[in-house]
Amino acid sequence: MIRQGRDRVCIGRCSGRLRLYDVPLYRRPSGQLVLHRIVKVLPEEYVTCGDNRRKWERGVTDAMIIGILTGFYREGIFIDCRRSWKYRCYVFFWWRFYWLRLPFLLGRDWLHRRKRYRESGRSDFKPGLFF
């Protein structure tokens, strides 16, 4: 949803447990900052995934969370994540139909892996989609 280098995000403070489809900003143990959507809420942790990713990240705890996405600017227009009906429709359809997007995400990842192998000059490319 967020276009890198083009959109600006607004991060607010969060209090209490987050809900399904909230977008927290959190710090991984490596120190990397990540802004991914919550796709599953578990008692002790969250499972997150980026909107254009296929791999889910487990182990995100409340202690890792810095803030939560409250809105963003796209082409100078502010979109409020709590009030915009367009944003809520996007979230609903984008994640309810994840299973329809999955084949395209797998194909895209496969093409990226294939391109990296060709650029590296290696000839041992493995054509599998799932590894």
pLDDT in tens, 20-34: 999 999 999 999 999
Task: Name residue, tokens 């949803």.
Answer: 1
Mean pLDDT along residues 10-15: 91
Does residue 111 lie within any of the structural domains? yes
Does residue 32 lie within any of the structural domains? yes
Q: Average pLDDT, whole number, for the chain?
A: 87
Residue 80, pLDDT above cutoff 80: yes
Does residue 86 lie within any of the structural domains? yes
Task: Give the integer Cα–Cα distance in Å for 47 and 44.
Answer: 10
Range of the domain at 74: 8-120
Report how many domains make up the chain.
1
pLDDT for the residue 37: 93
- Taken in order 62, 56, 12, 26, the sign of the CA dihedral is positive
pLDDT for the residue 101: 80
List of residues 6+ apart from 100 with CB closer than 8 A = none
Q: Which residues pair with 101 in a beta bridge?
A: none
Q: Which of 24-28, 55-59, 112-116 has the highest mean pLDDT?
A: 24-28
Nearest residue to 68 via CA among 30, 37, 29, 28:
37
User: How buried is 37 (Cβ within 10 angstroms: 0-12 exposed, 13-18 middle, 19+ buried)?
Assistant: buried
3-class SS at 94? helix
Contact (Cβ atoms closer than 8 angstroms) between residue 80 and residue 70: yes
pLDDT for the residue 36: 94
The enclosing domain of 12 has a CATH number of 2.10.109
How much of the chain, in percent, has pLDDT values that exceed 90? 49
pTM of the model: 0.76
3-class SS at 21? coil
Does residue 84 lie within any of the structural domains? yes
Mean pLDDT along residues 50-68: 91
pLDDT for the residue 125: 59
